[in-house]
Amino acid sequence: MNAPLPRPSPPMAMLAELTHRCPLSCPYCSNPVELSRKDSELSTEAWIAAFREAAALGVLHVHLSGGEPASRPDLVPLVAAARDAGLYTNLITSGIGLTERRVAELDDVGLDHVQLSIQGTDAAMADRVGGYRGGFARKMQVAGWVHSAGLPLTVNAVMHKQNLDRLEETIELAVTLGARRLEVATVQFHGWAALNRAALMPTRAQAMRAREIVLAARERLKGTLVIDYVPADHHARYPKACMGGWASTGLNVTPDGTVLPCHAAQTIPGLTFERVGSRPLKAIWETGAAFMAFRGTDWMQEPCRSCERKTIDFGGCRCQAMALAGDAAATDPVCSKSPHHAALVAEAEADAEATPPDFVYRRMPQNEPVA
């Protein structure tokens, strides 16, 4: 029998998904296919209580996300409350729903950082991918307001088959917008993205070229722009340490207050989740069944169990293991040691070579894509 696990260290970060509402309809959205509706969202007071509990637990950063967090009319008071609780506040936004005045108010209440997503380097591409006419123009305005307010800006560019060939322009755009950091993030195939694999999966040649472009740009832009590059999973030999290891560094709270060990944890059947307010957040973090399920390494099967990398990547992503191997405790099929790896790569290569079909847009009833 395994010895009881030691009490876990506190999480560093909380992803607060304030709402699933979003004016955009990105086909790569990692939100679940079953979106939470407005009437199930936590109230302002419940979010404020959650921020206080998170800070008391030891959380340092809160990432205010969605959906589009600016769809919440109480965004400014929520940022103020998170700051009052002592949290570093990062707003993850598409920019839609922000105005010059709202950016100034967010700055006034102490917002620490803005992460702005872009879907392309011109209106034709960006508005088609985001499914929102006028989105690109508004994003350019928002970047200007953020820059003028002196708020640190990260540009998040989600890259895929249909825009990876414009990576150099994307990097130039980030510099023009005054960003300090650019995340070149290849689509991760969770949520809605899984429905759009053949439209989005990049080819190996695109991924290799992207790596060369990023390496050259990092050198050229040293001191101006930091560039992170997240390649497609199947182009790597080993998986990433998803969430830094299950229930080790961060937690997510969904719009209705469900506390998750990771963004996609609800895709794993059999896990039970708790809501903020049902028990102290500290108790949910330390002893919640979903958090305990894959914490540490005792749950591992072979080949992870005897692998020298098991405390480096923690066997990869549990949700991906569930989706691709049918077993959440299996080795992530992204790993070259997984018996499912060859099939995963073959499927991904076929998707990459396919003529892109039309997008399946992420859609809540009020969204109306342009395409």
Q: Which of 187, 247, 335, 348 lies at the binding interface for ligand SF4 (CB under 6 A)?
A: 335
Taking the complex as a whole, the smallest distance from the CB of residue 232 to ligand SF4 amounts, in Å, to 17
Q: Residue 355 Cβ, how far from ligand SF4 at the closest point, in Å?
A: 24
Q: Closer to ligand SF4 by CB, 38 or 209: give it.
A: 38
By CB under 6 A, what part of segment 17-36 binds ligand SF4? Answer: 22, 24-26, 29, 31
Instruction: Tell which one of 11, 66, 97, 333 touches ligand SF4 (CB under 6 A).
Output: 66
Q: How far is the CB of 119 from ligand SF4 (least distance, A)?
A: 7
How far is Cα 356 from Cα 200, in angstroms, rounded to an integer? 7
Other C-beta atoms lying within 10 Å of the C-beta of residue 343: 13
Binding status of residue 245 toward ligand SF4 by CB under 6 A: no
The CB-of-198 to ligand SF4 minimum distance in angstroms stands at 19
**Residue 41 found at the interface with ligand SF4 (CB under 6 A):** no
Decide whether 49 or 96 has the Cβ nearer to ligand SF4.
96
Cβ closest to ligand SF4, residue 77 vs residue 303: 303
Interface residue with ligand SF4, options 11, 69, 120, 239 (CB under 6 A): 239
Give the DSSP per-residue string, 150-181.
T--EEEEEEE-TTTGGGHHHHHHHHHHTT-SE
Q: Distance of CA 6 to CAs 55, 283, 296, Å?
A: 21, 14, 10
Q: At what angle do helices 44-57 and 75-84 cross, to 10 degrees?
A: 20
Q: According to the binding rule CB under 6 A, does residue 72 interact with ligand SF4? A: no
Residue type, 13: A
Question: What part of residues 98-157 is at the interface with ligand SF4 (CB under 6 A)?
Answer: 117
Residue type, 103: V
- For the purposes of burial, counting CB atoms within 10 Å of the CB of 17, is it exposed (0-12), middle (13-18) or buried (19 or more)? buried
Part in contact with ligand SF4 (CB under 6 A); list of ranges 32-40, 171-179, 204-212, 312-320: 312-320
Taking alpha carbons only, the member of 141, 153, 69 closest to residue 114 is 153
Task: Give the residue with the Cβ less far from ligand SF4, 56 or 329.
Answer: 329
Beta-carbon count within 10 A of 76 CB: 17
Torsion of CA 286, 287, 291, 294, to 10 degrees: 100
332 binds ligand SF4, rule: CB under 6 A: yes
Select from 54, 116, 232, 304 the one that contacts ligand SF4 (CB under 6 A).
304
CB nearer to ligand SF4: give 85 or 293. Answer: 293
Among 279, 303, 345, 347, indicate the residue that binds ligand SF4 (CB under 6 A).
Answer: 303
Distance in angstroms (rounded) separating the CA atoms of residues 275 and 173? 41
Q: Cβ closer to ligand SF4: 14 or 85? A: 14
Residue 67 lies near ligand SF4 (rule: CB under 6 A):
yes
CA nearest neighbour of 88 among 114, 117, 70, 66: 114
CA distance 347 to 360: 19
Start-to-end CA distance of the chain, whole Å, equals 57
Select from 4-12, 258-266, 275-283, 311-319 the region that touches ligand SF4 (CB under 6 A): 311-319
Distance CA 311, CA 293 (A): 16
Q: Smaller CB distance to ligand SF4: residue 285 or 314?
A: 314
For residue 36, give the amino acid letter.
S
Provide the minimum distance between the beta carbon of 184 and ligand SF4 in the complex, in angstroms, as a whole number.
16
State which of residues 178, 310, 329, 345 lies at the interface with ligand SF4 (CB under 6 A): 310
Identified binder of ligand SF4 from the candidate list 167, 253, 307, 330, rule CB under 6 A: 307
Strands 88-93 and 226-230: unpaired
Residue 209-238 contact track with ligand SF4, rule CB under 6 A, x = bound: -----------------------------x
CA-to-CA distance for 65 and 250, rounded, in angstroms?
A: 14
Give the phi and the psi of residue 120 in degrees, each rounded to 5.
Answer: 175, 175
Which positions touch ligand SF4 (CB under 6 A)? 22, 24-26, 29, 31, 66-68, 94, 117, 238-239, 303-304, 307, 309-310, 313, 315-316, 331-332, 335, 337, 362
